[in-house]
Amino acid sequence: MNSEAVIRVKNVHKSFKTVHAVRGIDLDIHPGQFVALLGPNGAGKTTLVEMIEGIQKPDRGEILITGKPWRGNEKELRKIIGLSLQETRFIDKLRLFETLRLFASFFGLGKERCEEVMNLVGLEEKRQAYVVNLSGGQRQRLALGVALLNKPKILLLDEPTTGLDPQARREVWMILKKLKDASSTSLILTTHYMEEAEQLCDYIVIIDHGTILKEGTLPDLLGTSSAVTKKEEYHGPPRNLDELFIELTGRHLNE
Amino acid sequence: MVKWLNSQLWQLILANARELLREPAVLFWGIVFPILMSLGLGVAFTKKKDVTVNIAVIGRNHLVQAPGDSASVIRNFLQDNRAALRVGKDGALSRELRVPDDKLGGTTYIFENMDWNTAMVSLKRGNLNLVMDEDNGQISYHFDPMNPDAQLTYLKFSKLMKEPGMLIKPSETEIRPLTVNGTRYIDFLVPGLICMGVMMSCMWGVSYDIIEKRSKKLLRRMIATPMKRSNFLVALITVRITMNFMEAGLLLFFSWLVFDITIQGSVPALLLFFISGNIAFAGIAVFLSCNTSKTEIGNGLINLISMPMMVLSGIFFSYHNFPAWSLPVIRKFPLTMMADGVRGIFIESTGFSQVLLPAAIMLAIGVVFFTAGLKLFKWH
Ligand SMILES: Nc1ncnc2c1ncn2[C@@H]1O[C@H](COP(=O)(O)OP(=O)(O)OP(=O)(O)O)[C@@H](O)[C@H]1O
Ligand SMILES: [Mg+2]
């Protein structure tokens, strides 16, 4: 990539009491790039993403967003980031549109943008519904809508399609694909679905135990696998991401 | 205008208000419940109208005369004063004597015929105040001397036996009942209820709300936007205090309507005091909830703080009954301070200048706790 990285992660570490959740990760993400973080449960995806989001502080290492550290630039950086957390529950007794209005107001945005976003994520029918009465998938789409309100330069989605049926998942992919075509937003998403990474992202990072096992474009990962492991000697190079993943982590990538 | 409607503070206020008003339980506990409480306690303790006392009489012959019965002082008294005779379904005999008294409230004495054992059981159950029997024209009264009701019944009735004229010309003329507003129990109670309402509303409305939003990871989601952190708390507190104003207003209106309660002191002083009390409790509430994301812990903390104050701060009864050494401590509780102040304005016509110091202290309490809470505040 020739352009300056919008997100630069340099040798980042993070521990919780006894768990060394992230152990020395380096990552550069460029404008318009869609990156998937793939990894089994407990790999450290959420911890890494939340450090990039400025919600958690790394113990060691550096994170730069558009060249700036979080410290001292929080106000400015918050404006250009959109995100959805792995688990957020909005205010139960607020209607869907009211929820959008509330979050829009944090960015100084009004009704019009809320209407746009509501249409974008296909929730017009649910405009007046209380958040508590939305289905799981509708809630995920609302969370995505909230993340998109400020037309973020950087979008960070933590498992945006977990728990959705295949149809709803495809709808979310469509929304994100449209976004990719229409803007230069950079995206990091974490997922357990190979297909999601393959369909949506042009760069895939496989992590486990807090370190990057392998990263690259899909063809990179599958084709030019130079580090030949024992298994490959028997079976040849992996033919899809699933096989590669099992090979790398020794486990399946299911929730 | 549009700019203001889109502002984060306004949208936060709206969101909080909607959340509050859409919760029916809030309306019940905040508005209906205090009114019911004032009504219940007010009627129980204020409108001392007629009382009914039950007296057991051992020996059927003291209520009615059967052929061959000897003379009875009690029976003579009841007959002379035309005490109505009743026969229950089970054949139990009783007489009823009503003694009107427009100053102290009338008394209806019900004399029930019982044997000694039944009378003792009834006495233990609290169904009786007094047991009487008579031996050779000598009346004996049996009652628990520790029970003030029993004592009163004894004093009233034995006096009546000695001076039957009281039945016609009840209380002595030297009794001048003080029934002016301000001296009744309800006058004591309503200001206390108002203050307790403020405390509870802040504790549950502010503390619990914050803890719940933290445990839902909503706070974390919110601060991942350019939302100003203070706006979040300011909106929450503003909505709460507004709600508290309405609750107190309704309770006041209601108790004026039913009990004719009035504010004898300065209304601006009351407003000032009310606001500073609200701020004190809102600050305490923020402090309480600054660190935990477990609603169970929040629950415990809230009870830990509010329960002792509810009991000790003189909401339902005066704290002067507590031992003298404890009074200086009790007086320093925020709820005591607020209740004493508000009550003073209501019934002792405290003026503006007298509330300035306590109001300033409560404001300071609120500001100190709020600031400390905000410093220690965990957003996730
Ligand atoms: N606040 C915390 N306190 C203690 N341990 C934590 C905390 N957050 C994460 N961990 C631990 O850090 C490790 C990485 O967790 P993380 O949530 O980043 O995994 P993940 O890759 O997002 O997993 P999943 O796919 O299940 O969401 C796990 O072992 C987890 O138990
Ligand atoms: Mg996760």
Question: For residue B179, is it within any domain?
Answer: no
| Domain boundary residue, one of B167, B201, B221 | B167
Q: Is the pLDDT of residue A108 over 80?
A: yes
Mean pLDDT to the nearest integer, A92-100 = 96
Question: For residue B172, is it within any domain?
Answer: no
Sign of CA dihedral B19, B20, B25, B27: negative
Q: CA nearest A176: which of A166, A165, A192, A187?
A: A187
> Which chain B residue shows the shortest CA-CA distance from A110?
B6
Tell me the pLDDT tens digit for each residue of A146-180. 999 999 999 999 999 988 888 889 989 999 999 99
Q: Is the pLDDT of residue B252 over 80?
A: yes
Partners of residue B8 in chain A, C-beta under 8 Å? 105-106, 108
- Per-residue confidence (pLDDT) for residue A94, from 0 to 100: 96
| Domain boundary residue, one of B167, B196, B231 | B167
Question: For residue B176, is it within any domain?
Answer: no
Domain identity same for B235 and B129:
no
- β strands within chain A, DSSP E: 7-16, 19-29, 34-38, 60-65, 68-69, 81-84, 154-158, 186-191, 203-208, 211-216
Q: CA nearest B54: which of B142, B156, B104, B123?
A: B123
Q: Is the pLDDT of residue A230 over 50?
A: no
- Per-residue confidence (pLDDT) for residue B166, from 0 to 100: 63
Whole-angstrom distance, CA of residue B141 vs CA of residue B156 = 12
Whole-angstrom distance, CA of residue B195 vs CA of residue B26 = 17
Would you say the pTM of this structure is higher than 0.95?
A: no
Whole-angstrom distance, CA of residue B122 vs CA of residue B69 = 27
Domain identity same for B311 and B209:
yes
- Per-residue confidence (pLDDT) for residue B171, from 0 to 100: 56
Evaluate: CB of A119 within 6 angstroms of ligand 1: no
Mean pLDDT to the nearest integer, B244-254 = 93
Confidence grade of residue B1 (pLDDT, cut at 50, 70, 90): low
Question: For residue B205, is it within any domain?
Answer: yes
Question: What is the rounded average pLDDT for all residues in chain B?
Answer: 87
Confidence grade of residue A101 (pLDDT, cut at 50, 70, 90): very high
Whole-angstrom distance, CA of residue A242 vs CA of residue A192 = 11
Look at B354 and A56; give whichever has higher pLDDT: A56
Confidence grade of residue B158 (pLDDT, cut at 50, 70, 90): confident
Partners of residue B221 in chain A, C-beta under 8 Å? 85, 88, 90
User: Does the interface predicted TM-score (ipTM) exceed 0.90?
Assistant: no
- Per-residue confidence (pLDDT) for residue A112, from 0 to 100: 95
Domain identity same for B103 and B239:
no
Domain identity same for B34 and B57:
no
Question: For residue B278, is it within any domain?
Answer: yes
Whole-angstrom distance, CA of residue B115 vs CA of residue B93 = 12
> B53, B108 in Cβ contact below 8 A?
yes
Domain identity same for B40 and B95:
no
C-alpha of residue A233 to centroid of ligand 2, in Å: 33
* Residue A236: strand, helix, or coil: coil
Domain identity same for B139 and B287:
no
Q: Is the pLDDT of residue B178 over 60?
A: yes
Q: Mutate which of A74, A106, A115, A149 to test chain B, going by most B C-beta atoms within 10 A?
A: A106
Confidence grade of residue B167 (pLDDT, cut at 50, 70, 90): low
Name the DSSP class of B30: I
Q: Is the pLDDT of residue B283 over 90?
A: yes
Question: What is the rounded average pLDDT for all residues in chain A?
Answer: 89
Q: Whose CA is nearest to atom 19 of ligand 1?
A: A42
Tell me the pLDDT tens digit for each residue of B293-349. 898 999 999 999 999 999 999 998 889 888 889 999 999 999 999 999 999 999 888
Domain identity same for B135 and B257:
no
- Per-residue confidence (pLDDT) for residue A238, from 0 to 100: 65
- Per-residue confidence (pLDDT) for residue B168, from 0 to 100: 60
Domain identity same for B190 and B265:
yes
- Per-residue confidence (pLDDT) for residue B172, from 0 to 100: 59
Q: What is the tally of structural domains in chain B?
A: 2
Confidence grade of residue B169 (pLDDT, cut at 50, 70, 90): low
Domain identity same for B225 and B133:
no
Q: Is the pLDDT of residue A3 over 50?
A: yes
- Which of B76-90, B185-199, B224-238 has the lowest average pLDDT? B76-90
Answer whether A94 sits within 8 Å of B19, measured CB to CB. Answer: yes
Domain identity same for B362 and B338:
yes
Q: Is the pLDDT of residue B366 over 60?
A: yes
| Domain boundary residue, one of B167, B199, B234 | B167
Mean pLDDT to the nearest integer, B218-244 = 94
Tell me the pLDDT tens digit for each residue of B10-31. 999 999 999 999 988 877 887 8
- Per-residue confidence (pLDDT) for residue A255, from 0 to 100: 45
Evaluate: CB of A47 within 6 angstroms of ligand 1: yes
Whole-angstrom distance, CA of residue B290 vs CA of residue A182 = 43
- Per-residue confidence (pLDDT) for residue B105, from 0 to 100: 75
Q: What is the domain-level CATH number for residue B60?
A: 3.40.190
Look at B65 and A144; give whichever has higher pLDDT: A144
Question: For residue B234, is it within any domain?
Answer: yes
Answer whether A91 sits within 8 Å of B224, measured CB to CB. Answer: no
Structural domain harbouring B207 = 2-45+184-376
Domain identity same for B110 and B81:
yes
Domain identity same for B39 and B100:
no
Tell me the pLDDT tens digit for each residue of A177-210. 999 999 999 999 999 888 899 889 999 999 999 9
- Per-residue confidence (pLDDT) for residue B40, from 0 to 100: 85
Question: For residue B177, is it within any domain?
Answer: no
Q: Is the pLDDT of residue A66 over 90?
A: yes
C-alpha of residue A41 to centroid of ligand 2, in Å: 7
Tell me the pLDDT tens digit for each residue of A129-155. 999 999 988 999 999 999 999 999 999
Partners of residue A106 in chain B, C-beta under 8 Å? 8, 222, 225-227
Question: For residue B178, is it within any domain?
Answer: no
